[in-house]
Amino acid sequence: MNHDSPSLHARHQAVLPSWLALYYERPLELTHGEGRHVWDAEGNRYLDFFGGILTTMTAHALPEVTKAVSEQAGRIIHTSTLYLSRPMVELAERIATLSGIPDARVFFTTSGTEANDTAILLATAHRRSNQILAMRNSYHGRSFSTVGVTGNSSWSPTSLSPFQTLYVHGGVRTRGPYAGLSDGEYIAACVADLEDMLQQTAGGVAALIAEPVQGVGGFTAPPDGLYAAFREVLDRHGILWISDEVQTGWGRTGDHFWGWQAHAENGPPDLLTFAKGIGNGMSVGGVVGRAEVINSLSANSISTFGGSPVTMAAGLANLSYLLEHDLQGNARRVGGLLIERLRAVAAGLDVVREVRGRGLMIGVDLVRPGTDEPWPEAAALVLEAARERGLLIGKGGQTGATLRIAPPLSLTVAEAEEGAGLLAEALQVAQGQLV
Ligand code: PLP
């Protein structure tokens, strides 16, 4: 028995900000991981159905990544972008090719926030405008500009922003005025909303930033083709499309390597931002985009830690493993099976309104039984009950009533079935306690 965790919690509360979200009444201190499992300071083992926070893309403690990181750290940890760096050039080459963007350039950052911040900076520099379109219920980060374009009100605590943001519909689909529409009708309604928004501007919008599948927003995907339809309108106005792939990149959605590929008819985005999974937990983020846009900064710029050799070595080893083992295909197959299992579980439970997902990005909406009202308290209880059974999951959505499931992409069929069973028990316990 380890008695350190409560005091670590108290020390955490005393020194870290009140808004730094912590899961669980008795927060977990994780000490190590292997494959799809992690262990806490008390020696308990958990199946990690949240992949860190979609950061452990391949597996915990993947030997290939550990080896690449320690070998690079043994040579040199940091040099800065003032010098040539082989691992940075190599990873940039691979990402440029994978992006699907012709003549692409890559700039590395240390987080998703900074990647989006940079993309917004580049788009506004390129278009000489500070108006941005974003989606309702979106999440893009924590900085001044990214909070400014975040539509999810529980993550957008300030309306102070250097940008004028206009929020377009296309995120939440199953509630409100857009519920019950067919895919075609839904896309037409969203395009009409976009056209309306553009009428309100003086023609100076720089870019639309959007997550192909909203992550923090509850793993909600619009119908395929929405962004292709948006693209047609944007192109007419010369507005750039920034695809925020911080959660959806690298094959997580199963059918596609990038989320934008479900909306590909009118070509790739102008800028694509990435982070989270590429470093398997090492802080790698970045923006890849058309040379003409990426090169629009007229002043010099630098990132002290972006592209740091140790993180680039992690990214290269992780990406190689992902591609060589076809983890995108695994996400499609095992994710499909997991969604099926969870739908079967949900059929017997009033508290579950919907199980939806793409690949290994699965959302489970909880409602007060017999109503359409989101039930965040139930989600909190399910998280606790799942933890007691050795399963870690995430939550999100506009009100926190969506369970979020995003395991490492190497999840096995046996682990998917085990996790579905544990989640079924946790859902039953929570429903029993609340109803
Ligand atoms: N964009 C999306 C879609 C995200 O989900 C997140 C983080 O959850 C971010 C940006 C911000 O990334 P970071 O937390 O690495 O700054």
Sign (positive/negative) of CA torsion 275, 278, 283, 286? negative
Q: How far is the CA of 114 from the centre of ligand 1 (A)?
A: 9
Nearest atom (ligand 1) to Cα of 248: 3
Distance of CA 25 to the CA centre of its chain: 25
Q: How far is the CA of 154 from the centre of ligand 1 (A)?
A: 14
HSE toward the beta carbon, residue 214, CA cutoff 13 A:
26
With contact defined as beta carbons under 8 Å apart, do 146 and 390 qualify?
Answer: no
Alpha helices (H) along 181-326: 183-199, 226-237, 291-294, 309-324
Nearest atom (ligand 1) to Cα of 275: 15
Question: Which pLDDT score is estimated for 6?
Answer: 58
Structure tokens at 3: 């008695």
Bridge-based pairing state of the strands 271-274 and 240-244: parallel
**Residue owning the nearest CA to atom 16 of ligand 1:** 113
HSE toward the beta carbon, residue 117, CA cutoff 13 A:
18
**Placement of tokens 């592209």 in the chain:** 307
Rounded to the nearest 5 percent, the helix, strand and coil shares of the chain are: 40, 20, 40
Bridge-based pairing state of the strands 45-48 and 271-274: unpaired
Nearest atom (ligand 1) to Cα of 143: 16
Q: How far is the CA of 404 from the centre of ligand 1 (A)?
A: 15
Question: Which pLDDT score is estimated for 200?
Answer: 83
Structure tokens at 356: 């939806």
423's enclosing H/E stretch is helix 413-434
**Placement of tokens 């017999």 in the chain:** 370
**Closest listed residue to residue 290, CA positions, set 108, 103, 119, 125:** 103
23-49 pLDDT, tens digit each:
999 999 999 999 999 999 999 999 999
322 lines ligand 1 (CB under 6 A): no
Q: How far is the CA of 379 from the centre of ligand 1 (A)?
A: 21
Bridge-based pairing state of the strands 164-168 and 361-366: unpaired
Q: How far is the CA of 113 from the centre of ligand 1 (A)?
A: 6
The DSSP code sequence of 215-231 is TTTTSB-PPTTHHHHHH
Nearest atom (ligand 1) to Cα of 245: 3
Average pLDDT across the chain, whole number? 93
Beta bridge partners of residue 171, listed in sequence order: none
Q: How far is the CA of 169 from the centre of ligand 1 (A)?
A: 20
Question: Which pLDDT score is estimated for 133?
Answer: 93
209 lines ligand 1 (CB under 6 A): no
Q: How far is the CA of 185 from the centre of ligand 1 (A)?
A: 30
Nearest atom (ligand 1) to Cα of 111: 15
Question: Is-above-0.90 flag for pTM?
Answer: yes
The DSSP code sequence of 24-69 is SSS---EEEEEBTEEEETTS-EEEETTHHHHT--S-BT-HHHHHHH
**Placement of tokens 């494959």 in the chain:** 35
248-306 pLDDT, tens digit each:
999 999 999 999 999 999 999 999 999 999 999 999 999 999 999 999 998 888 899 99
Helix axes 309-324, 63-75, angle to 10 degrees: 160
Bridge-based pairing state of the strands 131-135 and 352-358: unpaired
247 lines ligand 1 (CB under 6 A): yes
109 lines ligand 1 (CB under 6 A): no
End-to-end C-alpha distance for the chain, whole angstroms: 34
Q: Which residues of the chain are under the pLDDT cut of 50?
A: 1
* Phi, psi values for residue 112, rounded to 5°: -70, -35
Q: How far is the CA of 258 from the centre of ligand 1 (A)?
A: 16
**Separation CA 338–CA 390 (nearest Å):** 17
Type of residue numbered 134: A
**Residue owning the nearest CA to atom 3 of ligand 1:** 246
121's enclosing H/E stretch is helix 112-127
Bridge-based pairing state of the strands 37-40 and 30-34: antiparallel
Bridge-based pairing state of the strands 361-366 and 104-109: unpaired
113 lines ligand 1 (CB under 6 A): yes
The verdict on ipTM greater than 0.90 is yes
Q: How far is the CA of 216 from the centre of ligand 1 (A)?
A: 8
